[in-house]
Amino acid sequence: MVIVAEPKQVVAPGELLAEGDHLLGDNSFKVGTRIYSACIGIFEVDGTRVTVVPLKGGYFPRVGDLVGGRIVDVGLSGWTVDIRAPYEAMLPASETPGPRGPRRRDLSESFDVGDMVLSQVLAFDRTRDPLLTVKGPGLGKISNGRVVEISAAKIPRLIGRKGSMISMLKRETGCQITVGQNGVVMVWGKSPENERVAVEAIYMVEREAHTRGLTDRIREMIAKSNVVGEVARTQTA
């Protein structure tokens, strides 16, 4: 049980991470007793588990994920949704709220091509394309606010340890923020200026995800943007 690479540092694919009986986390693989990194990312050690948190990469769906998607096609019994994954997702009409049974009305009245929807992955495995649902609180068409698209690999950093980053962002910018696991982030603010600062902060997290002391730096950046500061003060008053 030897940790070879330095934890919290950037590792390249094929770099030796550890040797011995460690548990394999994401993006690592074992050859004999040696454990190597499978992608460019930050090396993390958690007990006996070794993981590489990727710095780049697309979204790969998992059941239960909250995802923001764009309607690309309206069919007879459902919609095709682009959820920024390598697979086309289906949102069947039966997974929308409302009365069951045959529908006489046109499905494009609910969601039309180009609409953004917030949905949840209902089913997905290697053999079938993802199936979505918009039944649930907060799910459905996104008709206001701002949508920010960042790399899905940076989502864990945007949320932070136990949600520290995202709760700080919500508090300091006074915005409501919903994070889709696929890198689609929705921001609703009290004013366009609040939203602008929140969006800027989200982009900053994406750009500097692998740096230390990021939460503090973001907090300072938000504090410096005066407009939000004023709004925040009036809110507390």
Partner 1 sequence: MPEPKQPEKLIDDKGIRIDGRRLDQLRPIKLEVGILDKADGSAYIEQGKNKILVGVYGPREAHPKHIALPDRAVLRCRYRMAPFSVDERKNPAPSRREMELSKVIRESLESVVLTDLYPRTTIDVFIEVLQSDGGSRCAGITAASLALADAGIPMRELVAACAVGKIQGHMALDLSDAEDKYGEADLPVAWVPNANLVTLLQMDGILTTNEFEKGLTMALDACKTIHGMQQEALKKKYLVIKEVAEEREETEVVA
With respect to partner 1, which residue has the nearer C-beta, 60 or 188? 60
* Closest separation in Å from C-beta 115 to partner 1: 21
Closest CA to 174 of 189, 196, 159, 158: 189
By CB neighbour count within 10 A (0-12 exposed, 13-18 middle, 19+ buried), where does 83 fall?
Answer: buried
CA-CA distance, 63 to 185, in Å (whole number)?
A: 19
With respect to partner 1, which residue has the nearer C-beta, 55 or 135? 55
With respect to partner 1, which residue has the nearer C-beta, 38 or 141? 38
* Closest separation in Å from C-beta 127 to partner 1: 7
Q: Interface with partner 1 by CB under 8 A: which residues?
A: 10, 12-16, 27, 29, 31, 36, 38-40, 54-58, 60, 86-88, 126-127, 153, 207-208, 210-214, 216-217, 220
With respect to partner 1, which residue has the nearer C-beta, 205 or 231? 205
With respect to partner 1, which residue has the nearer C-beta, 82 or 106? 82
CA-CA distance, 22 to 26, in Å (whole number)?
A: 13
* Closest separation in Å from C-beta 100 to partner 1: 31
How far out from the chain centre does Cα 14 lie? 27
CA-CA distance, 148 to 107, in Å (whole number)?
A: 26
* Closest separation in Å from C-beta 106 to partner 1: 27
With respect to partner 1, which residue has the nearer C-beta, 40 or 222? 40
Closest CA to 97 of 67, 70, 119, 76: 119
* Closest separation in Å from C-beta 142 to partner 1: 23
* Closest separation in Å from C-beta 95 to partner 1: 22
CA-CA distance, 40 to 16, in Å (whole number)?
A: 12
Task: Say how many residues make up the chain.
Answer: 237
Q: How far apart are the first and last CA of the chain?
A: 56
